[in-house]
Amino acid sequence: MKLLFRKILTSPVVTEPGAPPPDPGVELLGSAIHDEVRKRFGRSLHIREVDPGSCNGCELEIGGLNGPYYDLERFGLQFVASPRHADCLLVTGPVTRNMADPLKRTYDATPDPKIVIAVGDCAKDCGIFAGGYGVVGPVSAVIPVDVVVSGCPPSPRSILAAILRALQARSPEPAH
């Protein structure tokens, strides 16, 4: 017991460093997304994340977008529980046989105009799951895809950049 108290009394105060300063690149990216979302929708962009067969690596990075560092809601982005409330589908992983029909039904339930972003190498070309007996194929084999984000897993910043690319690609042309 004496050793424990001596250790406690002789140990210096140990604290963790504060949060890192916000990345200026993320701030610029976020404000560009905010402007595109407001121009296109006049409100926030509602996102539905769909996992038709991934390893969950991409979901962890998407979850990082909800954390305090990226805080995507300040940029006008929100995750929703129903595809009927969504404007954008973030689809991760290869499409498995059991999830091909639910993915198609989710796509059909999402109101037009909808944006589909395939997140990760597996969503792009099945990655390490290519040729597996339970895999139908990449996301583009089941539903139309607007933008693909490469990486295994891609960073939250690259996912934000893909959302911006998709919004810019779908922006209405200015009237002449």
pTM: 0.83
Rg of the chain (C-alpha set): 20
Q: Report the number of distinct structural domains present in the chain.
A: 1
Residue 119, in any domain of the structure: yes
Q: What is the pLDDT of residues 75-134, one digit of tens each?
A: 999 999 999 999 999 999 999 999 999 999 999 999 988 999 999 999 999 988 998 999
Residue 24, in any domain of the structure: no
Residue 5, in any domain of the structure: no
pLDDT score recorded for residue 71 = 87
Q: Is 90 exceeded by the pLDDT of residue 20?
A: no
pLDDT score recorded for residue 97 = 94
pLDDT score recorded for residue 175 = 46
Residue 89, in any domain of the structure: yes
CATH number at residue 118: 3.40.50.12280
Q: What is the pLDDT of residues 164-176, one digit of tens each?
A: 999 998 766 554 4
Residue 23, in any domain of the structure: no
Angle made by CA atoms 146, 115, 113, in degrees to the nearest 5: 125
Buried b or exposed e, range 107-137, using 16+ CB within 10 angstroms: beebeeebbbbbbbbbbbbbbebeeeeebbe
Mean pLDDT across the chain: 90
Residue 165, in any domain of the structure: yes
Helix axes 156-170, 24-41, angle to 10 degrees: 30
For 99, the enclosing helix (H) or strand (E) is: helix 97-109
Residue 20, in any domain of the structure: no
Q: Check residues 16 and 151 and name the one with the higher pLDDT.
A: 151
Residue 175, in any domain of the structure: no
Alpha-carbon distance of 68 to 80, in angstroms, equals 18
- Determine the structural domain holding residue 65 and report its residue range: 30-170
pLDDT score recorded for residue 173 = 53
pLDDT score recorded for residue 87 = 94
